[in-house]
Amino acid sequence: MNKKVILSGMRPTGKLHLGHWVGALSNWISLQEKYNCFFMVADWHALMSEYKNPKLIKDITVDNVADWLVFGVDPHRSTIFRQSQVLEHLELFMILSVITPLGWLTRCPTFKEQVKQLKEKDINTYAFLGYPALQASDIVLYKANYVPVGEDQLPHLELSREIVRRFSSLYKKKVFTEPQALLTKVSRLSGLDGRKMSKSYNNYIALDQDDDSLEKKVLGMFTDPARKRKKDPGHPKKCNVFSYYRIINPDLEEDVGDWCTHAKKGCVECKKILLSSIKKFLTPKREEKKEILKDKNKIYDILNRGEAKAKKVASATLREAKKAMKLI
């Protein structure tokens, strides 16, 4: 039986943190069981926002892929590759750009928002406008049925489907598959300060966070503000620390609720216990990652092999597309 195809990508713009693990990586890992998965380093997409300091992309790519591997992305089962090394992405991007009306891109909510928000990065560029068309190429080259993404990416998925339909109607041939979003119904993990976990807020726990800074970060977290003294009962639902237990150590969730609402343990003690749960989860991965990074060639070997596999699929699809257009 042919497995359905999944494609997803991450932009190598910074270290991966617990938010990435909860929101994407943990999901990728379980999807490998059932699907034929393609996991892509979206380095061209990264360049669109990081072009003023492009040299970081290479190292961040290796660092991110090392995380993928230690947390369980399996290169024997899934195809791991860099977008920039499979040239077909850019060729199809050109083709899709030709058939994508400008209005679809200028009206894309992510475009309007990002240009407003990321003023300091100056992404009001020609390439950035085409972001969703490149993303559509990433997806349809592999005829992906499903694309696991967060809600923020839904407009891009919708555009990808529209571009696929436009191609079929123009050239009277269904070369591409209309991709469906696979909305990750995972609980979200807030940042240490309760806002969205993000590099720019510096409120994250990196997947390879060292013990000392991890301790500072966790013990510095805010708890229920109504609980001033240990003997005051707390409200777990209002406590960010509690929401971390849910993700990191759900077995303790009930106990922690009881410690808090019945004022059995103080917040400092509660955070110390959370700290040790996080350490238990992250420390072995961090050590494994150190080992892997001692020989970066191993990572490049994995990427090269993935890229050869990806290229086979991508070039076959590109050929079909060109044939449908009678370009070849």
Q: Which two tokens stand for residue 204?
A: 């994250």
The smaller minimum CB distance to ligand TRP, of residues 5 and 270, is found at 5
Question: Which residues bind to ligand TRP, rule: CB under 6 A?
Answer: 7-9, 11, 42, 45, 135, 138-139, 147, 149, 153
DSSP secondary structure, 130-198, as one string: THHHHHHHHHHTTT-SEEEE-GGGHHHHHHHHHHHHHHHHHHT---SPPPEEEE--PPP-B-TTSSB--
* Residues 277 and 248 sit within 8 Å (Cβ to Cβ): yes
Closest CB 230 distance from ligand TRP, rounded Å:
42
Residue with smallest beta-carbon separation from ligand TRP: 9
Which residue shows structure tokens 């410690």?
Answer: 259
Closest CB 117 distance from ligand TRP, rounded Å:
14
Which 3 state secondary structure label does DSSP give 223?
Answer: coil
* Residue among 212, 282, 228, 253 at smallest CA distance from 22: 282
The smaller minimum CB distance to ligand TRP, of residues 100 and 153, is found at 153
The smaller minimum CB distance to ligand TRP, of residues 115 and 252, is found at 115
* Residue among 108, 127, 104, 111 at smallest CA distance from 51: 127
The helix (H) or strand (E) run that includes residue 125 is: none
Closest CB 216 distance from ligand TRP, rounded Å:
29
Closest CB 214 distance from ligand TRP, rounded Å:
26
The smaller minimum CB distance to ligand TRP, of residues 135 and 145, is found at 135
The smaller minimum CB distance to ligand TRP, of residues 73 and 239, is found at 73
Closest CB 8 distance from ligand TRP, rounded Å:
5
